[in-house]
Copies of this chain bind each other. A is one copy, B any other.
Amino acid sequence: MKKYIKITLLITLSLSLTTCSLIPTKVIVSEMDPGFCMNCHQQVTPGLFQSWVESKHAKNGVHCMTCHIDHEAATQQKSMVFPEKCGGCHKKQLVEFQMSRHSIGFDRMRIQGEYLAIPQEIRASFCERCHSIQKRCNSCHTSHKFSLKEARDPDACGSCHLGPDHPHKEMYETSLHGTIYKITQNPDRAPRCVTCHMPDGTHNSSFGIASGPAGTRSEVVDLKEIPISKEEVERRRNEMIGICTKCHSRRFAQEQLENADQVKGEGFTLMERGKEPIRDMEKEGLLYPSIAERMPHPTEGRTLVLADPQLYVGTSHIERLFFTMFKFHSIRVWKSGYHFSPSYTHGHGWTEMQLDLIDIKEEAEKLREIFKEKK
């Protein structure tokens, strides 16, 4: 904390002599001298100030007001800087970003049943912290240094792409790709996330993804949720193989992806087998609580929902067994297949799915016995 104030770095900026009371003064400052903000902020938020000092922005004269526009407004409420503002200078990146699923992350979230079923006051700490990527370049380009080193690190991607329902971070880290990158920290030695998904620095992070969006569905759709043609899927896979062949033979790369296709197919077959006993239970009136007795699904209404957009709140035990099977375990099986993590595709995925299936099948048989008199 001792080196925060490196005023000597502020070469191109003439600091104003405004006295600083440590309480923001309300003045119309839209066109003011940049030193107005900094004079106080180097004292009240020295870490933020120092990060900016070390940024390329500082070196190129991009200061507080360039992005936040109006000091008065910023003192009243959160002064967010939207991608469109960043795109004023970073045009190519904005256009590419708008082609990626990142650019619809917040809007897509807002119509999800799972989101709608969460108490409003805690959505900010849960869903919105990641899905706000649609509205914030600083999801990846961390404030206020905006360091490329930080944005390109697999852990930057992994700060959202992790956890039980999309463990991309975990599957990468447990693959040989992730292992060698972790040891060497050398992107010429092993790929990191951006090597394959943002090649040549494209901000269309949906590049080459030929097997469905980040969610749990298997079909590939475009930003308007329209399924993509077989030819386009084929074209994208070839794009991806173009990345693999930097280090592997084409034959090997194709073989690996075809192996993953097989894994995906087997995983989806297993998942379908998990649905059958639950549909039977509904027909036989053995779900507890019944569809009629429970809160209706926020988007689907009073109906049995298995797999997306199934809820994890207020369902029966047998449905909850399937929720875990599809949302956590199935996704590990097939996505880890494409990310080459035997531990996740087999141990944390396939094995768990088989255990789920045992549980679901026997549970159905038990429900028949336990609640048969009630029928």
- Beta-carbon contact of B124 and A259 below 8 Å: yes
Residues of chain B within 8 A (CB-CB) of A222 are none
Residues of chain B within 8 A (CB-CB) of A126 are 263, 342, 345-346, 350
- Beta-carbon contact of A183 and B153 below 8 Å: yes
- Beta-carbon contact of A358 and B266 below 8 Å: no
Known contacts being A51-B189, A288-B365, A347-B163, is A150 close to B180, with CB within 8 Å?
A: yes
Asked if A48 is at the interface of the complex by the 8 Å CB criterion, the answer is yes
Q: Mark A118-146, 1 if CB is under 8 A from B, else 0.
A: 11011011110110000000000010010
> Which residue of the partner chain B has the closest CB to A153?
B183
- Assembled-state Cα–Cα distance A143/B365 (Å): 52
Residue among A263, A288, A342, A373 with most chain B CB within 10 A:
A342
Residue among A159, A160, A312 with most chain B CB within 10 A:
A159
- Beta-carbon contact of B183 and A345 below 8 Å: no
- Beta-carbon contact of B149 and A323 below 8 Å: no
Asked if A249 is at the interface of the complex by the 8 Å CB criterion, the answer is yes
- Assembled-state Cα–Cα distance A266/B125 (Å): 12
- Assembled-state Cα–Cα distance A4/B1 (Å): 35
Say which one of A81-89, A94-102, A227-235, A313-321 lies at the interface with B.
Answer: A313-321
- Beta-carbon contact of B246 and A355 below 8 Å: no
- Assembled-state Cα–Cα distance A50/B184 (Å): 15
> Which residue of the partner chain B has the closest CB to A173?
B155
Known contacts being A47-B246, A145-B189, A266-B119, is A260 close to B358, with CB within 8 Å?
A: no
Residues of chain B within 8 A (CB-CB) of A351 are 164, 312
Q: Mark A228-250, 1 if CB is under 8 A from B, else 0.
A: 00000000000000000111110
Q: Which single member of B156, B175, B315, B373 contacts A183 (CB below 8 Å)?
A: B156
Asked if A218 is at the interface of the complex by the 8 Å CB criterion, the answer is no
Residues of A306-358 whose CB lies within 8 A of B:
312-317, 320, 323-324, 337, 340, 342-348, 350-351, 354-355, 358
Residues of chain B within 8 A (CB-CB) of A15 are none
Residues of chain B within 8 A (CB-CB) of A189 are 51, 145
- Beta-carbon contact of A163 and B122 below 8 Å: no
- Assembled-state Cα–Cα distance A92/B103 (Å): 53
- Assembled-state Cα–Cα distance A260/B323 (Å): 27
Asked if A66 is at the interface of the complex by the 8 Å CB criterion, the answer is no
- Beta-carbon contact of B262 and A354 below 8 Å: no
> Which residue of the partner chain B has the closest CB to A41?
B249
Asked if A369 is at the interface of the complex by the 8 Å CB criterion, the answer is yes
Q: Which single member of B48, B127, B344, B365 contacts A346 (CB below 8 Å)?
A: B127
Residues of chain B within 8 A (CB-CB) of A184 are 147, 149-150
Which chain A residues have a beta carbon within 8 Å of chain B's beta carbons?
Answer: 1, 3-4, 44-48, 50-51, 78, 118-119, 121-122, 124-127, 129-130, 142, 145, 147, 149-150, 153, 155-156, 158-160, 162-165, 174-176, 179-180, 182-184, 187-189, 245-249, 251-252, 255, 259-260, 262-263, 266, 288, 312-317, 320, 323-324, 337, 340, 342-348, 350-351, 354-355, 358-359, 362-363, 365-366, 369-371, 373-374
Closest 3 interchain pairs by CB? A47-B247, A163-B343, A163-B347
